[in-house]
Amino acid sequence: MKKHLLIFVSLIMVAQLGFSGGLVTNTNQSTAWTRMLVRDASTQIDAVFYNPAGLTKLNDGFHFSLSNQSLFQKQTIKSTFPYLNNGTYEGNISAPLFPGVYGAWKKGKLAISLGFNPIGGGGGAAFDNGLPSMEVPFSGLVPALGQLGVSGYNMDMSFKGTSVYFGVQAGITYAITDNISVFAGARYVLAKNTYMGHIKDVTVTTPSGKIAPGTYVNGVSQRALAGSQQTGAAAAGMQPIIDNNAGGFTLNQLLGAGIIDAATKAQLEGGLLAFGIPQSSIDGMSAATIQATYTGISTELAATSQYLAGQAAYLNVVTADQEADVVQKGNGITPIVGANFSFADNKINIGVKYEFKTKMELTNEVAEDKGFVNGMDNTGAKTYMFVDGDKVEADIPAMLSIGAKFQVAKPLSIQLGYHTYFDKACNWATNSDGVEVIDKNFNEYGIGLEYNVTEKFLWSLGFLMARPGINENYQSDLDYSLSTNTLGGGFAYDLNKVFTVQLGGFYTNYFEKTYEKTEGTISYKESYDKLTYAFSIGVDIHL
């Protein structure tokens, strides 16, 4: 059980609470993005995030963008592990507030920009019925204790988590020529994860009813001890027979010789029958053999009692009511560089951005006795999954984005975008067992269309395809990544020369995946699926 509970450490990390982008990076960072899904060659105010080298294409003055997305995700995990009470688990993740704030001042060849957004995570997840990795160890009590009469289990479990990596970005853009500009800047990332939950009221179904596992196993241990004492007494009671040189007599011969009475014979036979020895064998056993058999049974029962007592003590710890109250915090800095190239009187614009890897560790802050118990050490003291002060590696991978915008005709433009996330270079690309979980880097490909219906009103559509580079060793109910196709749409309207209102939304379809799993000698399957949708509203301000 301990091995599997340890998997709990990574529960609902930022990878599970992100909405669009790489394994741990959000790229859904403006309303304009939600309506067309490709902004890598943007020369508007959201270029602060997507293409900061393109900010010199803005008019001189101050420019601001304020937006919020409301995002919702449903995760569905199904397990065929045979002893689970219910193999379907659903988690609902929401982020009603997902802000993006950008500002830029542009004068001539120079632009200075600031940005604030949730670069990772940004939501909260609620798994009201837990997850397979939480429940499978407890359901495993059924086969493990089946020989003791256990036929089922019951428990109350719930887990909730939040994760957000806020990023504050600043940088300078400079136009080398009318057609080429460059950017240099950095982002400060402040990360925080929280975990709250409980596991309580764990019981097993026994012939005596529903009982706490440790209590039941301890009861069996006590019965085994009593049996050891009784069989030991039976063996000791036969010693006078052995001393009387009657050790070679059978029970029938002892009865016939008047050495024992009928009641004693019945008791000795009944004890042997109770331990599965057939009557035909008992009839041929000598008194010495019967004594040795009772001695052996007594010794075995004593050892069994001792073993079960230890198991009961362990079960009393790991199946006791418990809570988790954990916060993880950390920070890091992301250097960012970029370049922008424009051709054909700005009818073709190409943006390139590279974000370096963010080195980051998260430090546990754990409330007393709320780090989630996973066992006990050789002194009998509790051990915990989350330990106050422990550190968790949490690099954000480097990222390269390349985008191109083509003004096909006066009312129509097309944007293409490509992103790659360098996951293989991160400190979590190998799991705790030393097995590589990343085969190749995460890639995204997108296309977006904008059509100006009038000078003030435009609508847009977008399509984004994401293909992660993980392998099956990465995938678990606690952290999984799936290939996706996303559709987005929306519009923008210029209220006047100062204010532009934008509305957008997107829907992400995930490709469900099923994997073979093993638990001890038991083989089963687990499938993972998600769906995500979002709505966004924003306003751009030009002064």
Identify whether the C-beta of residue 514 lies closer than 8 Å to the C-beta of residue 47: no
Burial class (CB in 10 A: 0-12, 13-18, 19+), 256: exposed
Cα separation, 481 vs 471, whole angstroms: 10
pLDDT tens, position by position, 55-96 = 999 999 999 999 999 999 888 999 999 999 888 988 888 888
Residues 22 and 80 in one domain: yes
Identify whether the C-beta of residue 516 lies closer than 8 Å to the C-beta of residue 496: no
The domain boundary residue, chosen from 282, 312, 342: 312
The domain boundary residue, chosen from 258, 290, 312: 312
Q: Rounded to the nearest 5 degrees, what angle is found at the Cα of 210, between the Cα atoms of 325 and 85?
A: 65
Residues 467 and 518 in one domain: yes
For residue 124, what are the domain limits?
Answer: 2-212+319-542
Residues 452 and 422 in one domain: yes
Cα separation, 403 vs 476, whole angstroms: 33
At residue 128, the pLDDT reads 78
Residues 298 and 405 in one domain: no
Q: Count CB neighbours of 107 within 10 A.
A: 10
At residue 250, the pLDDT reads 92
Residues 89 and 124 in one domain: yes
Nearest to 24 by CA among 285, 374, 399, 505: 399
The domain boundary residue, chosen from 262, 294, 312: 312
Residues 145 and 10 in one domain: yes
Residues of the chain with pLDDT under 50: 1-17
Number of structural domains in the chain: 2
Residues 300 and 367 in one domain: no
Residues 234 and 248 in one domain: yes
At residue 487, the pLDDT reads 97
At residue 330, the pLDDT reads 94
Q: Rounded to the nearest 5 degrees, what angle is found at the Cα of 118, between the Cα atoms of 114 and 122?
A: 165
197: domain CATH number is 2.40.160.60
Residues 202 and 330 in one domain: yes
Residues 382 and 453 in one domain: yes
Residues 298 and 182 in one domain: no
Identify whether the C-beta of residue 439 lies closer than 8 Å to the C-beta of residue 426: no
Identify whether the C-beta of residue 95 lies closer than 8 Å to the C-beta of residue 123: yes
Cα separation, 25 vs 165, whole angstroms: 9
Residues 371 and 257 in one domain: no
